[in-house]
Amino acid sequence: MNDNGNNDKIDADNINDNTFKYLSHGGKHIIFEICNNTKYILRCSRSSAVNNNSNKPINNYVRFSTDIFEKILGTTTYSTLMQSHGNSIMKINSNTLKKLNNEILSKYNSDNNKYNTITIDNPYVNIELNAHYSKEVNDFLQQQTSETNVNKYHRFSIEIKPKSGVLCRSHLISMKNKIKKEKSIYQLQQILKLKKKKIDQISKYDPIDFFHFIDDDKQNVNMKKALKNLFDNPQNNINIFSIENSTVENVSTTNFKEYFKSNNINNYENIINHLTNILMSNKSQILLKQIYNIQSMDDFDIEGLVKLKLPTFALNTANVLNFKVDNIINDVNNDGIDKTFGKIGSMNINSIINEKIKEDDDHDNNNNVLSNSEKIKIIRRFLLSKTAKDLSLVITTIYPIDNETVNADELETLPFSIKIIDTDFKPIDKFNEWIQKDLNIMNAYFEEKEGK
């Protein structure tokens, strides 16, 4: 993705004149590369039964990400959203909508089952900075004195979904489920996935290693361990994108060693070292520590919330407005982050609650000892933590093709950028799904422990 493509700003006057290429998708959105434009991408809402002709779904994503999540991170440095560039939400015409669906259909024809439920019927889209675009990398390559120097580097992106690096701290977890305080939920869920035959083997990757902030030496070792384990068994938590000229290509492989070898990078260990250096840099560590702090706002675990009857409270018609994105944004704008969510990071709410309730497994009356404002804050904190546990990091960098001569000092000078994506606010209507998932994870753990 050199800057030989068109970087002109996309606006309402020219958006329908572009061609688009499918890049990736998630549960709510589909991302398209804007062909011949290195800098921007198109974000679309996946088809759903509601709001299929409204800008609200995409607007909620943009507003929550910029007005709340970036404020809590304390910076827009890691953002791909461009509120400062004016209104980036636009309406495409029916022909462009058809082109996008045909592009998805072409992927469906080439990969039979993966894309058959992905369609777009909402014409409202968002223009964003391409997370794979890196000014740092571009500037570095433009400073090279010859085309030969430029071509000696391979440019690529790594998209990592690190998951939750926080162990459960809730005092409301039953003694039977105390394993939640000893093992990450990611590792516990691996047992369930294996039982359901969604994976062939349990991954050795553990988010606890990725978010390890105890001491620098061990942190470096743990980060390298986390990356190696992710590369060895990526599942859906790491993807590689090859960047050539003006094109970003999702590499359809799980054999990352072979991918780098095919690009004349034979020393796979050096790639791990390079990515470790990036994630251990001051810029990355500031980001990771704040993501961890937001993840830590899950004060009670879903099990504790159930014992406090908070999902029932949240889903009550009289209370649901407190958990709508618009209302939360208004509260942040009027009252500030602290009053809306409380302290960012782990909060001693457990102790506060434990002064009010009897600490055992009989919590039938716990719902009555909390004020409504306490309930709302606890639930909002939990929902915010869910966003931080499900976001992705995109690292864009380069690596010398003639890598036999690479030394540690050169590795530390290679440019990179790091961005966050997938910062959707999690809705309360997922509570029942989360509750059932927690039960399934623990049941699978106990069945495996008992040898069933």
d(CA 388, CA 163): 8
Q: Are residues 123 and 207 in the same domain?
A: no
Q: Are residues 167 and 268 in the same domain?
A: yes
Total of domains in the chain:
2
pLDDT by 10-residue block (mean), the chain, 452 residues = 58 90 86 86 81 81 91 89 70 95 81 70 92 91 74 88 95 93 96 94 96 75 93 89 75 69 70 92 94 95 95 94 94 94 80 56 60 94 96 93 68 90 92 97 93 70
In a domain, 3, yes or no: no
Side chain identity at 273, as an amino acid letter?
A: N
Side chain identity at 411, as an amino acid letter?
A: L
Q: Which of 75, 95, 130 is the last residue of a domain?
A: 130
In a domain, 209, yes or no: yes
Q: Are residues 272 and 356 in the same domain?
A: yes
Q: Are residues 119 and 179 in the same domain?
A: no
Q: Are residues 287 and 204 in the same domain?
A: yes
d(CA 122, CA 119): 9
d(CA 434, CA 439): 9
Judge whether 264 and 154 are in contact, CB under 8 Å: yes
Q: Are residues 95 and 236 in the same domain?
A: no
Q: Are residues 184 and 247 in the same domain?
A: yes
d(CA 362, CA 404): 63
pLDDT for 81 equals 87
Q: Are residues 82 and 167 in the same domain?
A: no
pLDDT for 154 equals 85
Q: Are residues 99 and 185 in the same domain?
A: no
In a domain, 106, yes or no: yes
Bridging pattern class, strands 153-160 and 40-45? unpaired
Residue 409 lies in domain: 149-452
pLDDT for 255 equals 67
Q: Are residues 108 and 210 in the same domain?
A: no
In a domain, 269, yes or no: yes
In a domain, 400, yes or no: yes
Q: Are residues 222 and 115 in the same domain?
A: no
**Tokens matching residue 158:** 């790594």
In a domain, 8, yes or no: no
- Looking up tokens 């988010």 gives 207
Q: Which of 88, 103, 130 is the last residue of a domain?
A: 130
Give 267: exposed, middle or buried? Use CB within 10 Å, 0-12, 13-18, 19+.
Answer: middle
Q: Which of 82, 97, 130 is the last residue of a domain?
A: 130
- Looking up tokens 């004020």 gives 371
Q: Are residues 90 and 189 in the same domain?
A: no
- The C-alpha torsion from 143 through 145 and 147 to 148, rounded to 10°, is -120
CATH number, position 49 = 3.30.200.110
pLDDT for 85 equals 47
In a domain, 196, yes or no: yes
In a domain, 164, yes or no: yes
